[in-house]
Amino acid sequence: MIQREGEGWRLAWDGHRQPFSVLIGGDGWAVELTTAEAEALRDAVGDLAQQHAALVEQLMAEEAIELELERGAWWLAIEGDRCSWSLRVVLNPSSGQRALEGSWSVAAARPFSQALQQLFGQP
């Protein structure tokens, strides 16, 4: 079992727990995901973080930015400025499956995102 957490975020993986082997959480909430759902989230968060990094030099210090991405069952958004951003996620699976909505604050979003990338390795 792998567990990582920080202020406002949690991430755990236990390969023996199937089908929901990954736990993600924020302030006051947590949900279990399948490995495939977690890997898809990892890829989407990584892509959004890369988009943000590519735009940083084009933003003025006081300028705000919001980026959204919809991929498969996931919808994600990061909102912030040149230096930091918050993260919102929504899982809209097919009919009959569970759904979720969660978010991480500016203080928690980047550390959670980095831990997620490390947990599964870079895509």
Per-residue pLDDT of the chain (123 residues; tens, 9 = 90+): 889 999 999 999 998 999 999 999 999 999 999 999 999 999 999 999 999 999 988 888 888 999 999 999 999 999 999 889 999 999 998 777 889 999 999 999 999 999 999 986 644
Q: Which H helix or E strand runs over 6?
A: strand 2-6
DSSP 31-91: EEE-HHHHHHHHHHHHHHHHHHHHHGGGS-TT--EEEEEEETTEEEEEEE-SS-EEEEEEE
pLDDT, tens digit, for every residue of 70-94?
Answer: 999 999 999 999 889 999 999 998 7
Return the half-sphere exposure (C-beta side, CA atoms, 13 A cut-off) of residue 76. Answer: 24
48: left (phi over 0), alpha (psi -120 to 50) or beta: alpha
The pLDDT value recorded for residue 98 is: 86
The pLDDT value recorded for residue 60 is: 83
| d(C-alpha 26, C-alpha 103), whole Å | 7
Domains located in the chain, CATH noted: 2-120 (2.30.31.10)
pTM value surpassing 0.85? yes
The pLDDT value recorded for residue 52 is: 92
